[in-house]
């Protein structure tokens, strides 16, 4: 039973990945998001990223690969994951959990920057608030979503959706592949 369970996890992940990459529109959206990020960096802008739980880990990974390097030696790119625990607990305590990312965007982001907003449901209130504040400030929004895209879909300049209605872990598995593809795309275009 345990080996079958493990194998089924890989089979399900493979099926979802195959479904995602066989829809050419998904690949086009990744390229569109990559072009937007390259444009922002070339114009002196910064990429911000946010998410909850595993999606926060993905947001951190996105920012560290851009400020560090992915595959090729290149200049560091300005990217910040909204993830500092002291900051998050301060704002969560003073303004409520729904404001933890929005407050940072309000204080730090400027017009022409970009926010990578990650939500497997597309309905996380704190992600929606961050996207709303970003749009009000003239900050571009790239959304990584799942299911039907949720409310976040309508707040994005580019939405990349993993149309899976099962558990969030499968959506997150595709999200990290999207993030790696975006970073690789940026490195190829920006060097």
In a 3-state reduction of DSSP, which class is residue 191? coil
CA 156/CA 134 separation, integer angstroms: 10
CA 180/CA 87 separation, integer angstroms: 27
Q: What are the residue ranges of helices labelled H in 43-166?
A: 54-67, 85-95, 100-108, 125-137
CA 19/CA 161 separation, integer angstroms: 12
Mind listing the pLDDT tens digit for each residue in 117-130? Answer: 999 999 999 999 99
**What are the E-state strand segments in 19-71?**
47-50
Mind listing the pLDDT tens digit for each residue in 7-42? Answer: 999 999 999 999 999 999 999 999 999 999 999 999
| Domain encompassing residue 139 | 2-190
Averaged confidence pLDDT in the chain: 96
Burial of residue 185 (number of CB atoms within 10 Å: 0-12, 13-18, 19+): middle
Q: DSSP 3-state helix, strand, coil percentages of the chain (rounded to 5)?
A: 60, 15, 25
Q: For position 127, which CATH number holds?
A: 3.40.50.10490
Mind listing the pLDDT tens digit for each residue in 60-113? Answer: 999 999 999 999 889 999 999 999 999 999 999 999 999 999 999 999 999 999
- Which token pair is 75? 């200049």
| Total count of domains within the chain | 1
Chain CA centroid to CA 174, Å: 11
């Amino acid at each position: 039973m345990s080996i079958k369970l493990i194998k089924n996890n890989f089979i399900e992940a493979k099926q979802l990945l195959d479904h995602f990459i066989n829809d050419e529109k998904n690949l086009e959206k990744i390229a569109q998001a990559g072009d937007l990020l390259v444009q922002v960096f070339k114009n002196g802008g910064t990429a911000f990223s946010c998410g909850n739980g595993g999606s926060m880990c993905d947001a951190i990974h996105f920012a560290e690969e851009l400020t560090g390097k992915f595959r090729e030696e290149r200049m560091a790119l300005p990217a910040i994951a909204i993830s500092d625990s002291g900051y998050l607990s301060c704002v969560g305590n003073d303004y409520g959990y729904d404001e933890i990312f929005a407050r940072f965007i309000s204080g730090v982001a400027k017009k022409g920057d970009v926010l990578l907003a990650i939500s497997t449901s597309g309905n996380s209130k704190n992600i929606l608030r961050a996207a709303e504040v970003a749009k009000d400030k003239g900050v571009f929004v790239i959304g990584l979503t799942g299911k039907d895209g949720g409310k976040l879909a309508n707040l994005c300049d580019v939405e990349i959706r993993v149309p899976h209605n099962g558990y969030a872990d499968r959506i997150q598995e595709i999200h990290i592949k999207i993030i790696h593809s975006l970073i690789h795309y940026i490195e190829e275009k920006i060097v």
